[in-house]
Structure 1
Amino acid sequence: MRRTGFVDAVDGLGQHDHICWVFHTLEQFRQAAGRFLTDGVAAGQQVIYLAEGASATELDHVAGFAAARMSGAALVQDLGIYEPLRPVDAAAQVAEYERATDQALAAGFTGLRVAAQVTPLARTPAQLDAFTRYEHHADALMIRRPFSAMCGYHAGELSAAAVAELASMHPLATPGSTPLRMFPSAQPEVTAVLAGEVDLAGRRLLHDVLRRVDLTPVDGAVTIDARDLTFLDHRGLFQLVDQVRARGATTVLHVAERSPVRLVAELLALPDVRLVMS
């Protein structure tokens, strides 16, 4: 099972986990990336360290990393492979990681694990929009394939609003990085998971998130797992339902029995919203 929520450590993450790691110094990122990647090596994965201007020996101080690099179990790549001055091509990059995962499996590894310092890919508004969309599609790949990733963002180089948009596309994020998260579900019958809080501060973020995620209806419905949504005001529910309605579909919300989301939805009694207690 994939882990979700807010965490302050990268240790012990699994084959399909995807974390947004917000850091304040490059050394903080290197230390966390070293732990994340050595966990992957121990689990039999091929691992990649990706950062702007990365040197081949940048993580050799991490126990076991130099040996893994020499054997081909660990790779170090410069961020330049992404063409960092241009918005990322989400479909092409996801296809590249799927190919790299297949190559790792063919070489006898149990999967692929990447720690990437990708701040330079989200600096402009166009880059930010493209990269948040890419994060969503990359997360869908991580459900299907044994591919896990740690996406690092420098809090000193990006605004808090930009960090929140990026973090909102991850099942896992550092505490305080975003009020809400929306990401693909591992359950085939569920379109997406919506977690966190949607209040006055979160409604603008929800608006941007809903523009970027894939809410393709199945049998005339978009099903959202809202069991970890701790607060949703009526305007936030209207936003969600309007986006689904624009796709010609009904909104199905999976909620906990005592969820405040259930109370709001039942109070509004919208005709194209159906609740499922779970």
Structure 2
Amino acid sequence: MQSVPRGRTAYAVGMRTADAPAARPTATGRHLCWAYADRDEFLGQARDFLAEGRASGAAVRLVGDGLPDVEGVPAEPVSDVYGVVDPAATVSYWAAALADALAAGHTGLRVVGEVTPLVRSAAQIAAFAAYEHQVDRLMARHPLSGMCAYDRRRVDPAALSDLASLHAVHNLPGVSFRLHAVAGSGDLAISGELDVTGMAALARLLDRVAPTVVDGELVVDARGLDFVDHRSLMQLASYARGRGATAVLRTPLPAAARLVELLRVPGLRVEAR
């Protein structure tokens, strides 16, 4: 067991690291969050993202209100693409757009979306958080890539942190964990660090994304988890029990299994791998 910084519970495993989200394999999509305060900086990132996609043979699209053309790609109004966000319907829209791109001979589809107008109210934030995870699942399995851009000056900071947490890759400092999709049983991965400071956010995000339960198990790919304390393990178990399931944490931290055994956490199994 690693030493624990002062003020932290002794019931914890793993080593704390800097926030360095791991990129996904290029055979599937990439889904990143870009929070910005400088519009020109965002446009530069969008230009690079779209140029990279075009160089790989992907079709490219730009969605955002009042944006100039980027890499020769005209901006589509947000309302024309998203309307009132219905998570399942919006994911189906992008699945169909990807199918059209592949049928046209492209290697995939890459999209930049400046989606700040879609996260202004509490109801919008809840709906868009659910959509972010559902579309992340699509990207984890197919060659659809997206950059979700948010103007940090116009989005509630707590909401922005939650939204960033739903991406495997983001640029927002101070976000301790990432709850994102992965191809495989249950489609759910948690990366980074889980401790008492992130418990409220973890509870909110689990409720909003409603991860898949398969054969009575809520499988969590935790290969990217660097640190976890006993409170977070108990929280995952409690959430799974509320769904009538057992939480299965697949992690390279063998001490996590010993911690669960020591604490006798019901409804939680750790598979060290």
**Partner AA of 1:31 in structure 2:** G
Match of 2:29 among 7, 16, 22: 16
Give the corresponding residue for 2:38: 25
Contact persistence 2:195–2:229 (CA under 8 A) = yes
Contact 1:250 1:273 in 2 (8 A): yes
For 1:118 and 1:129, the matched residues in 2 are separated by 14
Once residues 171 and 257 of structure 2 are traced to their aligned partners in structure 1, the CA distance between those partners, rounded to angstroms, is 27
Q: Does 1:99 align with 2:81?
A: no
Cα pair distance change 1:191/1:112, threshold 3 Å: closer
Q: Give the C-alpha shift of residue 186 in structure 1.
A: 1.3
CA distance in 2, matches of 1:45, 1:138: 18
Letter in 2 for 1:222: L
Change (3 A) 1:37 1:21: same
Which of 167, 171, 174 aligns to 1:170? It is 167
What is the alpha-carbon distance in structure 2 between the residues aligned to residue 267 and residue 34 of structure 1? 51
Please tell me whether the aligned partners of residues 256 and 262 of structure 1 are also in contact (alpha carbons under 8 angstroms).
no
CA 83–114 in structure 1, closer or farther in 2 if over 3 Å, else same: closer
Deviations along 1:69-124, one digit per CA (max 9) or x if unpaired, are: xxxxx45312221466x4x1111111111111111111111110001111111111
Mapping 1:204-219, distance limit 5 Å: 204-219=200-215
User: Which of 247, 257, 261 is 1:266 aligned to?
Assistant: 261
Q: Secondary structure at the match of 2:47?
A: helix
Mind listing any 5+ residue stretches in structure 1 that lack a counterpart?
60-64, 67-73
Partner residue in 1 for 2:77: 78
2: distance between equivalents of 1:143 and 1:7? Answer: 15
TM-score by length of 1: 0.84
- State the AA in 2 paired with 1:25: D
What RMSD in Å do the two structures reach over aligned CA positions?
2.3
| Equivalent residues of 2:34, 2:172 under 8 A apart | no
Deviations 1:132-161 (A, max 9, x none): 100000011112321000001111111221
Q: Determine the C-alpha separation between the residues in 2 that align with 1:273 and 1:101.
A: 37
Is the 1:51–1:78 contact (alpha carbons within 8 Å) kept by the matching residues of 2? yes
Cα 1:197–1:263 change in 2 (3 A) is farther
2:250 maps to which of 254, 260, 264:
254
Partner of 2:234: 238
Counterpart position of 1:54: 67
Distance 1:251 1:184, change over 3 A: same
Larger relative contact order (CA 8 Å, sep ≥ 6): 2
What code does the residue aligned with 1:77 have? E
User: Deviation of residue 176 (structure 1)?
Assistant: 1.1
Secondary structure at the aligned position of 1:217 is classed as coil
Change (3 A) 1:266 1:255: farther
Change (3 A) 1:110 1:83: closer
2:158 & 2:272 partners in 1: Cα distance? 33
CA shift at 1:14, angstroms? 6.5
Partners of 1:135 and 1:230 lie apart in 2 by 23
